[in-house]
């Protein structure tokens, strides 16, 4: 079996398992899990940047996928920080009232 076919198979299984796990989590746990997702996305950004540094000069599939990984992971990190900031703002005392 080719490596590409095995990679597609593993990706499809990961999508299915991830969807099943996420739909079973109660909404009260989504925000704490966002912090964990931010950490994983940060690791993804560092890994993609290391791939860019190692694979300079070639505009091949690895560079394209690395760029896509950086974009999506950055969106996830920024969104996660925005959600966390809103959640923490809910717990601040309101001095003006």
- Kindly state whether residue 18 falls inside one of the protein's structural domains: no
pTM of the model: 0.57
- Kindly state whether residue 12 falls inside one of the protein's structural domains: no
- Kindly state whether residue 42 falls inside one of the protein's structural domains: yes
- Kindly state whether residue 95 falls inside one of the protein's structural domains: no
3-state secondary structure labels for all residues of 40-84: HHHHHHHHHHHHHHHCCCCCCHHHHHHHHHHHHHHHHHHHHHHHH
User: Which domain range does residue 55 map to?
Assistant: 30-90
- Kindly state whether residue 40 falls inside one of the protein's structural domains: yes
pLDDT tens per residue, range 1-43: 688 888 889 889 998 998 888 788 777 776 677 677 777 778 8
- Kindly state whether residue 24 falls inside one of the protein's structural domains: no
- Kindly state whether residue 4 falls inside one of the protein's structural domains: no
pLDDT tens per residue, range 40-81: 778 888 887 887 777 666 667 777 877 888 888 888 888 878
Number of domains in the chain: 1
């Amino acid at each position: 079996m080719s490596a590409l076919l095995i990679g597609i198979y593993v990706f499809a299984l990961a999508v299915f398992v991830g969807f099943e796990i996420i739909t079973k989590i109660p909404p009260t746990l989504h925000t704490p899990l966002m912090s964990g997702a931010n950490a994983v996305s940060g690791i993804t950004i560092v890994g993609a940047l290391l791939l860019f540094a190692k694979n300079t000069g070639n505009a091949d599939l690895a560079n394209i996928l690395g760029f896509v990984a950086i974009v999506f992971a950055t969106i996830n990190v920024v969104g996660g920080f925005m959600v966390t900031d809103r959640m923490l703002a809910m717990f601040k005392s309101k001095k003006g009232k």
